[in-house]
Amino acid sequence: MLTNIGFIIGIALMYAAPLMFTAMGGVISEKSGVINIGLEGMMYLGAFIGAAVGYYSGNPWIAFLAAGFASGLLGLLHAVASVSFAGNQTISGFAINFIGPGIALFLSRLMFNGATMTKPIPMEGKMPKPFNGILRSLSLENTFAAQVLNQYATVYLAFILIFIVWFIFYKTRFGLRIRAVGEHPRAADTLGINVFALRYICVTLSGVFAGFGGASMSLAVVSLFSPTLISGQGYIALAAMIFGNWRPRGIMWGCLLFGAAEGLAVYMGGRTNVVVPTQVLSMLPYIITLLVLVLFIRKSNAPAADGVPYEKSSSNLI
């Protein structure tokens, strides 16, 4: 029984990690006042770059950073459109959802002989499981502790990132500025905060984090990139962000809820004799999310200026 629970928790953590990275990308952008619906496209490109660089370099960390860098460029593009040109952030973000997968598959076909799928990353190129050796030397394999703790490095990094983002938001001056810019950019501007620069940093970072999210999918959960690998995870990260009410801790629980439902589906689908159709199981995370939203409804905590382009004066560009 205990190992079964451990199994579910283990799967939950594995599937939650990519969502956590990406949702942190979402929240850092939105806290600064820029809606980022392009997380899906950024995650998609990150997943491809992670797998491709992982395949060619054999080094997961170089691959992981390259994925963050590539998706950071998409973040920068979104920043140019939505900050410099005060564009429609929803449309610009949605554009990223075409451009990201477009570039990923375009490059994939050029690099992998016309295939939209990368070759599998060799074992040493895959994300390591840092506690694997320790758990094995203590001969704790297949125990509850091992099921829960023997995770890919990205899982621990995801939790660390959540802590860092929380710390920045609520414990540093930089975070206070981000929140000020997201709530009332004009007031922040009056106080001498550079609204444009700050939004540029945050939106670009959102791309970097979403890229990490994608890479933690292609370098850890599986060990290759395929066109269906991401299929909607970026949107789910977005949902987890809204679910978590734009707060890192709430978002963490949102991602874990999705992971847990996924874990439950994997467990019930493969390890029990329960005759619940897999399709119904797969529906669970989404129905649970809707129910939780309806039952535990709190006041939305979205930044006041989220989605509103900031313009210093009406004539700064034209």
Partner 1 sequence: MKIFKDKKIFSSNIGRTIISLLMGFFIGALILAVAGYNPLEAYKVMFLGVFNKPKYIVQTIINSTPIIFTGISIAFAYKTGLFNIGAEGQFIIGSITAAILGYLLHLPHLIHVFLIIVVAGLAAGIWGGIAGFLKAKFDINEVITTIMLNWVAFYSLNYIVQLDSLKKPNAEATYDIQQSASIIVLEVWKKSKEGINWLNEHLFFKDIFKTRMNWGILIAILIAVIASYIIRKTVLGYELRSVGHNRQAAEYGGINVSKSLVSSMMIAGGIAGIAGAIQVMGISHRISTLSVMEGYGFNGIAVGLIAGGSPIGCIFAGLLFSALNYGGGKVQYILGAPTEIIDIMVGVILLFVAVPKLIALFPRLAIIFSFTKGKMGGEDNVD
Q: What angle do CA 89, 175, 62 make, to 5 degrees?
A: 75
Count other Cβ atoms within 10 Å, centred on residue 198.
21
- 25 touches 208 (CB < 8 A): yes
- CA distances for 152 relative to 10, 13, 29, 66, 165, angstroms: 10, 9, 27, 18, 21
Closest approach of partner 1 to the CB of residue 57, in Å: 22
Least distance to partner 1 from the beta carbon of 37, Å?
Answer: 8
How far is Cα 89 from Cα 83, in angstroms, rounded to an integer? 9
Stretch that binds partner 1, among 129-137, 189-197, 216-224, 287-295 (CB under 8 A): 287-295
Residue 94 or 156: which CB sits closer to partner 1?
94
Looking only at residues 30 through 69 of this chain, which bind partner 1 when binding is defined by CB under 8 A?
37, 41
Considering beta carbons, is residue 60 or 100 the nearer one to partner 1?
100
User: In terms of C-beta density within 10 A (0-12 exposed, 13-18 middle, 19 or more buried), how is residue 205 classed?
Assistant: buried
Candidates 139, 273, 279, 313; binder of partner 1 (CB under 8 A) is: 279
For the chain, helix, strand, coil in percent to 5 are 70, 0, 30
The mark string for 184-213 relative to partner 1 (x by CB under 8 A, - otherwise) is ------------------------------
How far apart (Å, rounded) are the C-alpha atoms in residues 234 and 36? 10
Residue 181 CB, nearest distance to partner 1 (Å)? 20
Smallest gap from residue 2 Cβ to partner 1 (A): 30
Question: Binding of partner 1 at residue 99 (CB under 8 A)?
Answer: yes
CB of 67 within 8 A of CB of 134? no
Nearer to partner 1 by Cβ, of 102 and 128: the residue is 102
Residues at the site binding partner 1, with contacts judged by CB under 8 A? 37, 41, 77, 81-82, 85-92, 94-106, 109-110, 114, 228, 231-232, 235-236, 238-239, 242-243, 277, 279-280, 282-283, 285-287, 289-290, 293-294, 297, 300, 302, 317-318
